[in-house]
Amino acid sequence: MQLTKFGHACVRVEKDGRRLVVDPGGLTEPQALDGADAVLVTHEHFDHFSEETLRRAAENNPDLRIWTNSSVAGRLDGLDARTTAVGEGDAFTAAGFEVTVHGAWHAEIHPDIPRVANIGFLVDDALFHPGDALTVPEADVETLLLPVHAPWSTVGHLIDYVREVAPRDAYAIHDGALNDIGTAMVGGFLGDDGPGAGARYHRLPPGATARIG
């Protein structure tokens, strides 16, 4: 598979001419959905879900399909025939990719802030996008998309999370609010100079690609 990083939390996965996009939100470059066959959305927050972007993509491509949780699906009225609500434990095929769903809730920011539904997607038993949670899937993960900067985690949480999931490679996502200094600091802790997370750490700039799997 070929992995392409877009703004903040969005990635595109390509295989055999098929394109699957995860979390094209309000901080995502619009070209992320060019040629997409299917879209996965982990939760409703603006940095992961842009209703306007998805509706425009669906208008441009009548064959585009969307899988997400029930909260997001409920906001896509008019696209009901092309939108499927899924939850933890579900499995489906999207654009030829085999996908399983893991997790149910967004990570807690503070007890006084209501949590929203959040699901993670494991693609082809290889690539895991957890959305806004540190969900540990009950499956082996070769490549973990790691949300490296959020109000609900610390670097210590991230190190322990990578160790528990035990992927071969971890690629940074959810980094749209980091400047160059913050990016370097996180990379220092998660990379070879840190205490050891047990996986090779990578950060792709927006638009860059890598071969995975």
Q: Does residue 60 contact residue 38 with C-beta atoms inside 8 Å?
A: no
Identity of the amino acid at 9 = A
DSSP 30: G
What is the sign of the dihedral through the CA atoms of 150, 9, 190 and 160? Answer: positive
- Indicate the SS3 state at residue 95: coil
Nearest to 106 by CA among 174, 51, 56, 24: 174
What is the sign of the dihedral through the CA atoms of 99, 201, 162 and 173? Answer: negative
Structural domains in the chain, sorted by start: 2-206 (3.60.15.10)
Given its phi and psi angles, is residue 161 left (phi above 0), alpha (psi -120 to 50 degrees) or beta? Answer: alpha
* Separation of alpha carbons 102 and 24, rounded Å: 19
Confidence of residue 213 (pLDDT cuts 50, 70, 90): confident
For the entire predicted model, the pTM comes to 0.97
* Separation of alpha carbons 146 and 95, rounded Å: 23
Residue 46: per-residue pLDDT: 97
Q: What is the mean pLDDT of residues 154-158?
A: 97
- Dump pLDDT digits (tens) for 41-87: 999 999 999 999 999 999 999 999 999 999 999 999 999 999 999 99
* Separation of alpha carbons 209 and 213, rounded Å: 13
pLDDT above 70 covers a percentage of the chain that reads: 100
Please name the residue ranges forming H helices in 98-213: 155-165, 180-190
Q: What is the mean pLDDT of residues 130-157?
A: 97
Average per-residue pLDDT in the chain? 97
- Dump pLDDT digits (tens) for 116-131: 999 999 999 999 999 9
Residue located via tokens 């949670």: 133
Task: Tally Cβ neighbours within 10 Å of residue 83.
Answer: 22
Residues 6+ apart with CB under 8 A from 13: 1, 2, 3, 4, 19, 20, 21, 22, 97, 123, 127
- Dump pLDDT digits (tens) for 177-207: 999 999 999 999 999 989 999 999 999 999 9
